Amino acid sequence: MHIHILKAPGELFLGSDSASAFAQGPRRFRSVAKAVRFAIEHAAPVSLRGATLKIGNRVLGPNQIRRLHQGLMAGSLNGPSV
């Protein structure tokens, strides 16, 4: 996954499981970086169980969202690729 993905718009689905997350519909963000920060820093922890982040035709699950956040906070996503 390349760094440009962090600047792409994304749709974040949050819920206690994937079915409830999709039933509630997405929160739309101008950038994936903002969506990831919101998911980890502001959403209820139980909502991450069914979290899905859609970026174009890519779909990331809760563990991938957490790893992206760790990379953002560590500053390790400033290079050419993630």
- The pLDDT of residue 38 is 97
Q: Classify residue 81: in a domain, yes or no.
A: no
Following CA atoms 28, 8, 59, 27 in sequence, which dihedral angle do they give, to the nearest 10 degrees?
-10
Q: Number of folded domains in the chain?
A: 1
pLDDT-flagged residues of the chain (< 50): 79-82
Q: How many CB atoms lie within 10 A of CB 51?
A: 26
pLDDT reported for residue 5: 85
Cβ count within 10 A of residue 63: 10
Distance CA 43, CA 24 (A): 14
Residue 62 inside a domain? The answer is yes
**pTM, whole model, 2 decimals?**
0.86
Containing structural domain, residue 33: 3-74
Task: Give the pLDDT of residue 82.
Answer: 38
In a domain, 20, yes or no: yes
